[in-house]
Amino acid sequence: MKKFFDDVLTRAKKFYSTLLATLREIFDEAAYARFLNRAGMVSSSESYAAFRREFEEAKMRRPKCC
C-alpha cells in the first residue's frame, strides 16, 4: 500500500513540475531565466527591460492562430 501511495505521490509531483514548466515556458518566465543565465545577470528592473528589448522583436514575428 505504501508503495502505491509513493508511486502516486511521485507521479503527482512529476505532473505538477511538468505543468509548472509548461506554464513558465508559455508565459516566458523560462525565456527570461535563460536570458539571465546567458547574460550573466541577476533579475532586476534593468535586466528585465533588456530581456524585453531582445525578446520583443522575435516574439512579434510569431503568428497566433485564428
Partner 1 sequence: MNKPLVFLGWGVVAVLGAIAVGTVALHRGEPINALWLVIAAACCYSLGYRFYSGFIANKILGLDSLRATPAERLENGRDFLVTNKWVVFGHHFAAIAGPGPLVGPVLAAQFGYLPGTMWVLAGAVFAGCVQDFVILLFSVRRDGKSLTEMAKDEIGRVGGFVAYVAVISILIILLGVAALIVVNALKASPWGTFTIAMTMPIAVLMGVYLRRIRPGKVLEVSALGFVLVMAAIWGGQYVSQHEALARAFTFSAPALAILIMVYGFAASALPVWLLLAPRDYLSTFVKLGTIALLAVGIVVLHPTLHMPALTRFVDGTGPVFAGKIFPFAFITIACGAISGFHALISSGTTPKLIARETQTRMVGYGAMMAESAVAVMAIIAACVMQPGIYFAINSPAGVVGQAPATAAATISSWGFPVTAADMQALAHAVGEQTLYNRTGGAPAFAVGMAHIFSHSLGGETLMALWYHFAIMFEALFILTILDAGTRVARFMVQDALGHIYKPLGRTSWYPSILATSALIVGAWGYFLWQGVKDPLGGINSLWPLFGISNQLLATVALCVATTIIIKMHRAKYAAVTLVPLMWLVAVTFTASWHKMFDPDPRVGFLAQARALAAGPTSGATVRLIFNNRLDAAVTGVLVVMVTLVLAESLRQWLGILSGAREVRMKESPFVRTRFVEERG
Give residues in contact with partner 1 (CB under 8 A). Answer: 18, 21-35, 37-38, 43-45, 47-49, 51-52, 54, 56-58, 60-66
**Nearest CB to partner 1, comparing residues 3 and 64:** 64
Taking the C-alpha atoms of residue 58 and residue 31, their distance in angstroms, rounded to an integer, is 12
Q: By C-beta, is 9 or 21 nearer to partner 1?
A: 21
66 class by beta-carbon count within 10 Å (0-12 exposed, 13-18 middle, 19+ buried): exposed
* CB of residue 27 to partner 1, shortest distance in Å: 4
DSSP single-letter state for residue 61: T
State the Cα–Cα distance between residues 50 and 10, nearest whole angstrom.
38
Comparison of 5 and 37: residue with beta carbon closer to partner 1: 37
